[in-house]
Amino acid sequence: MGADPRRTGRTGAVRASALLACSGVLLAGCASMPDSGDIHAVKASQRADSQVRVYAVPPRQGATPAEIVAGFMEAMTSDDTNFAVARKYLTPDTSKRWRPEASTTVLTAAPDSGQPVAGGRDNPGMDYPLIGKQIATVDSQHAYQAVSPTPYRTTIHLSLQSGPDGKEWRIDALPPGLVLGASDFQRNYRSVNKYYFASASRRNVVVADPVYIRQRLDPVTRMDPVTQTVKALLEGPTNWLKPVVESPFPAGTALKEGTKSLAFDDRNALKVPLNEKASNVGHPQCMKLAAQILFTLKDLSATRIEQVEIQRANGSQLCVLDGGQAEAIAPDHTSVRPVSQYFVDKKKQLTLLSGGAKDISESQHVPGPFGNGQLPVGLVGVARDERTAAAVSTDSSRLFVASIKAGSEVGDAVVQSTGKDAAHRLSAPSWDGRGDLWVADRDPKNPALLRLAGGSGAPKNVRIVPGLEGARIEALRVSADGVRIALLLTKDGTTTLKIGRVERQGATDNPVVSVADLRPAAPQMETVTAVSWAGHSRLVVVGKESGGVQQVRYIQTDGSSSAASILPGLNRVKAVAASDDENRPLVAYSEDDGIVWLPTGANWQTLVEDGSSPVYPG
C-alpha cells in the first residue's frame, strides 16, 4: 500500500525517497508510492490511472511565489478533505470565497506557468499567468461539455501576507472552481448515467443523462460514489436535458440530512433514506424513483444491484423495488431480445445476419420487396421491432417503407427529393424508439429534416431551433428514447457532429416536433464521416483530428472520451453501425474491405467483400 510522505518522511532513506517522488519545493502533492521499485518524479496531469492517489502537502515556510503557484495547482488534484491543504495556499478571505465544487475547467494537460509580472502601486504583489489548451468545462450540475480545443489563459495573483513567522506569499485572486489537466480529471472523476423519464411519451421510457462524479470520496461532501450518484439524480436532470424529461418526486427531495454513505447489504440491496419532502408521495411515484435509482446504479458498481428500498426520513419503508419490477416500469429496449445485423448486398437487396449468426454464410435476404429484388435499394433503416424497413432508392431520390415479412408489397414513395445528384438527395433513414421514421433531404434548394409518425404518416418538417446557419444535414441518427438526435452537418466543406434535443409540444398523438439546442459532440475532430448510437449515452464516430488519420472511436454524448475509446484502425470507413446492446459487435463499411465487424477482444474481420449500408435496427 502506498505511503503518505508527510508521515514516512521522518527517517533517512524513506524521507529521501519521498523527496524524490514529490520534488519537494516544486510539487505540493505526491502520488502514493509502491513499497519497492524505482522512484520517479511525477508531474501533474501525467497520471491517468484511477488507482493512483495524490496527497496534498502544505506550503513550506518561506516558499517563493513560483512554489506557491505550483503547489496550489498540484493540491487541486488531490482528494484532500474540502481541499483543506489547497486552501493553505490562499489568503483567508480568498479561501472563504473559493468554491472548488462550482465548476471544473479541463485542459489537455496541467497548465504551464508563464513569466510572472510584478504588480504596480495600485496592485502590489505578483501576477502568474496560467497557460494551456481548454477542452471542456464541468458545471455545478456535474455536466461535462466538450469544446473545440481553445487557448486558455488566466492569472493567479499573489500578495505578501503577515503571519506568525513573518511575511509569506499567498494567493488572493484565482480562476473559479478547479483547473485540471485531462489525465488528472480522468483519474479523479468517472462518467455516470443518471436516468429520467421521457416527457410526452405514451409509455415509460428512461433517458440517460451523463454526469461526472468523483472516483472516490468527494472532497467537499465526503460522499462515496454511490451516494454522490444518488444525490446527483435527486437534484434533477441537467439543464440541457431538462426540457424533455421529468422525475416523479416533489421539488426539494433529497437524501436524508447527514447521509454520506449508501452501502449494499449481503443481498445486494440498497436502502435510500430521503428527507421529509418525499414522505407522503404515492406508491407509483415511489416505484418510479426506485426504478430511476436502480437503472442509474446498475453500471456504477461491480456489485449487481438486486433491490432498492426507499425510506422516509423517520426510517420507515416507502416502497421496495427489484430488478424485474424495474423492467416492468420502464423496459430496457436492449434486453428484450437479440437483434439482427442488416446490410445491402451486391445485388442491392436487403440482407440480414440473424442475432445468433457468426458467419456471412448464414445470411439471408429479408422477405418482401427490399429483399426479393422487386426494388433495388441503396440506403436502409430497419425499425426497432424488425417488422418494417425504410429504403432509399439507389439514386437516393425516393424513400419507401414496407414490411419485411413474407408476401408484403411496396407502395408509392413516401418522400421524394429533386436534388441534382445522390449526394444532394435523401440521407439514410433512421427509426426512433417511438416508431417514428426520420430522414433528411439534402437538396440545397429545398433542405428539410422530415419525420413520418409511425413510419406511415405524412412527412412533416422538423424545425431546428435555432437554424442551421448555412450548414446542411449530411446524415442523422435518432436515439432509441426518441429525445436526442445526432446530426452530421456539412458547412464550408467540413462535416461535424452535433447532438440536438428533440422537443414535442401539443397533443401526444399529433405533436409539433422540433430540434433544439444543438451542441458539439466531437469538437476534437476536424471532420466526421459517420456516426451511430452505441448505447444509452454513447456514440461510435468515424472521423479525424486536425492533421491526423481517420479513427473509429467511442464518444459520450457530452463529448467526453478517453484514449481507451479509440478502436483498432480501419481504412476508408464510410458507414458504421452499433447496437443499443453494447455486447453486440460493431459493424462498418470500408471501401477497402467491404462489410466488416469487430467482435469483442478481436480485430476487424471481413463479413462480405461486396456490400454496403450496414445497420442495426434503429
Predicted pLDDT at 8: 30
- pLDDT at residue 355 in the model: 53
DSSP of 567-618: PPP-SSEEEEE--SSTTSPEEEEETTTEEEEE-TTS--EEEESSEEEEE---
In the chain, the percentage of residues whose pLDDT exceeds 90 is 70
pLDDT of 12 > 70? The answer is no
Residue 358 is predicted with a pLDDT of: 53
Tens digits of per-residue pLDDT, 440-449?
A: 999 999 999 9
341-615: what CATH class? mainly beta
pLDDT exceeds cutoff 90 at 539? yes
Model confidence band, residue 41 (pLDDT cutoffs 50, 70, 90): very low
Give the sign of the dihedral formed by CA 158, CA 162, CA 163, CA 165: positive
DSSP string, 391-457: EEETTS-EEEEEE-STT----S-SEE---SSGGGSB---EE-TTS-EEEEE--TTS-EEEEEGGGTS
Residue 360 pLDDT class (50, 70, 90 cuts)? low
DSSP state of 344: E
Averaged pLDDT for residues 523-543 = 94
Q: How confident is residue 507, by pLDDT bands cut at 50, 70 and 90?
A: confident
Q: How far apart are CA 100 and CA 94, in angstroms?
A: 12
Q: Environment class of residue 121 by beta-carbon count within 10 Å: exposed (0-12), middle (13-18) or buried (19+)?
A: exposed
Please give the DSSP secondary-structure letter assigned to residue 479. -
Predicted confidence (pLDDT) per residue in 258-294, tens digit? 999 998 888 889 999 999 999 989 999 999 999 999 9
Q: What mean pLDDT is predicted for residues 518-527? A: 93
Q: Say what the pLDDT of residue 124 is.
A: 81
Q: How confident is the model at residue 608 (pLDDT cuts 50, 70, 90)?
A: confident
* Degrees, nearest 5: CA angle 286-211-288: 10
- What integer pLDDT is reported at residue 231 of this predicted model? 97
Model's pTM, two decimal places?
A: 0.88
* Range 468-482 average pLDDT: 93
pLDDT bin (cut points 50, 70, 90) of residue 165 is confident
Which helix (H) or strand (E) is 491 found in, with range?
strand 484-491
Beta bridge partners of 35: none
Q: What is the chain's mean pLDDT, rounded?
A: 87
Higher per-residue confidence, 482 vs 165: 482
38 burial level (CB within 10 Å; 0-12, 13-18, 19+): exposed
Whether 509 has a pLDDT exceeding 90, the answer reads no
Distance CA(590)–CA(607), nearest Å, equals: 11
CATH 2.120.10.30 location in the chain: 341-615
For the stretch 48-80, pLDDT in tens is: 455 677 888 999 999 999 999 999 999 999 999
3-state SS class at 136: strand
| Residue 454 in grid coordinates | 409511425
User: Does the pLDDT of residue 319 top 50, yes or no?
Assistant: yes
Whether the predicted pLDDT of 3 surpasses 50: no
pLDDT at 144: 97
